[in-house]
Amino acid sequence: MSQLEWVWSSRNTLPMTPVNMNKLILTCAGGRMMPLLAKWHKAAAPDSMLIGFDANPDVVSAGVDGFDRVFVVPKAYDPLYVPAVIDLLKEIGVSVLLPGSDEEALVLAKRKKEIESAGGMMAMSDHSSLARVSDKINLARVIEESHGGGARVLRALNADEALQAIQKLGGTDVPMVLKPSRGRGRRGVFIIGTSSMPEHDDLPPVITLQDIPEVYEQAFPPDMVMPFVSGQNITMDVLADHGEVAQLVVRRWLENWRFPFPGQEIISFPQIESLGTKIVNQFKLHGLLDMDFIVSEDGEPTLLEVNPRPSGSVVVALAGGVPLLKQYVNLALGQKSVEFFSPVRPQTLLLQDLEN
């Protein structure tokens, strides 16, 4: 089967010029916020052409509002993924490519030379740096050793190791979190405990110790344990330029769940901005990244993870006055100095503000 048999294009037409540096390819085009992201990016870059890649044929069949064309590709872990991306780039022409999932970011970084040879321009760290910074266990160790403020985590590759790790971290007197060490959103994340937790469809399910063996029988089992950290959820968008920070946007979630979108407040938080800058410097990061923090009641932030791709709610930064996708395109095209934007802070943005 040829790679192009994976491809189904929408009814929309797209001029396939050999070179059009206004083309931006976004993977995971079926994300819930993607139509809003397209709207706000085109407001900042009206001459931009948006192309989507997604592994769900239903998303491609329906199309995505604001996208000029959408293609279906295999999952990132499929051996056919990169060949399919290369074949599409040959059809589409030279374009800037921005991965939307951790798996895609790592695969594309590993085969960056092939992708760029086919016309896919990317601003991405080398694979080794991304692999180290996106591993939550390694990240926690590095932060604690170098800066302080790292999460307490232990590796747990099976149910027995998970039970042992829970005991080492304090037992069930406090809730524990069982999750993958590499980001998969909230897939594969479970809270272990007997105490009551906030109930919401978008929060991880609560399980007991007896449920742990069944969790490890799933297709993508967890591999780490950490104490449940309560507090305020903070997301920070980071545009990194070869180990230096080009743009930061700190966003406080109004509620500690993602959907339905509860709104966010763009704020200033020097301690978080400083730690994020140190991580960018230390790992020599490059590209558009997402850092997630929890801030305790006493105001101390803990960095939970660094995702090697933009946040699913990055549209808030765009609506708040920071054209991060346009900045990323300029970075991917080798612009020597990316213009810095300072958003209004504090600034609260609800779903209705993103839609209007």
Do 347 and 256 sit in the same domain of this protein?
yes
pLDDT computed for residue 198 by the predictor: 64
Do 182 and 330 sit in the same domain of this protein?
no
Do 313 and 200 sit in the same domain of this protein?
no
Residue 75 has pLDDT above 70, yes or no: yes
Do 74 and 87 sit in the same domain of this protein?
yes
CATH number at residue 177: 3.30.1490
Percent of the chain with pLDDT over 70: 90
**DSSP class of residue 337?**
S
Percent of the chain with pLDDT over 90: 76
Q: How far apart are CA 240 and CA 223, in angstroms?
A: 29
pLDDT computed for residue 335 by the predictor: 84
Do 209 and 326 sit in the same domain of this protein?
no
Do 133 and 166 sit in the same domain of this protein?
no
Find the DSSP H helices in 81-148: 81-92, 102-110, 112-117, 127-134, 136-146
Residue 12 confidence class, pLDDT cut points 50, 70, 90: very low
Residue 185 confidence class, pLDDT cut points 50, 70, 90: low
Structural domain for 167, as ranges: 154-227
Do 18 and 57 sit in the same domain of this protein?
yes
Residue finishing a domain among 227, 249, 282? 227
Q: Which of 285, 291, 288, 282 is nearest to 242 (CA)?
A: 285
pLDDT, tens digit, 9 for 90 and up, residues 278-335? 999 999 999 999 999 999 989 999 999 999 999 999 999 999 999 999 999 999 999 8
Q: What is the pTM of this model?
A: 0.90
Do 330 and 200 sit in the same domain of this protein?
no
Q: How far is CA 101 from CA 35, 39, 48, 141, in A?
A: 17, 21, 22, 23
pLDDT computed for residue 13 by the predictor: 40
Q: How far apart are CA 116 and CA 69, in angstroms?
A: 21
pLDDT computed for residue 134 by the predictor: 92
Q: How many domains does the chain have?
A: 3
Measure the N-to-C terminal CA separation of the chain; round to a whole number of Å. 45
Other C-beta atoms lying within 10 Å of the C-beta of residue 354: 22
Do 249 and 315 sit in the same domain of this protein?
yes
Do 76 and 100 sit in the same domain of this protein?
yes
pLDDT computed for residue 174 by the predictor: 84
Q: What angle do CA 252, 292, 136 make, to 5 degrees?
A: 165
SS3 324: helix
Residue 15 confidence class, pLDDT cut points 50, 70, 90: very low
Do 207 and 245 sit in the same domain of this protein?
no
pLDDT computed for residue 9 by the predictor: 38
pLDDT computed for residue 51 by the predictor: 97
The neighbouring-strand residues paired with 224 are 155, 179
pLDDT computed for residue 25 by the predictor: 98
User: Per-residue pLDDT averaged across 231-246, rounded?
Assistant: 97
Do 10 and 94 sit in the same domain of this protein?
yes
Residue finishing a domain among 181, 208, 227? 227
104-118, 142-156, 188-202, 312-326: the lowest-pLDDT one: 188-202
Cα atoms found within 13 Å of the Cα of residue 137, Cβ hemisphere only: 15
Residue 10 confidence class, pLDDT cut points 50, 70, 90: very low
pLDDT computed for residue 194 by the predictor: 65
CATH number at residue 311: 3.30.470.20
Q: Which of 250, 246, 237, 243 is nearest to 312 (CA)?
A: 237
Q: Which of 150, 140, 194, 143 is nearest to 171 (CA)?
A: 194
Other C-beta atoms lying within 10 Å of the C-beta of residue 230: 13
Residue 118 has pLDDT above 70, yes or no: yes
Residue finishing a domain among 173, 202, 227? 227
Other C-beta atoms lying within 10 Å of the C-beta of residue 306: 26
Cβ–Cβ under 8 Å, residues 311 and 261: no
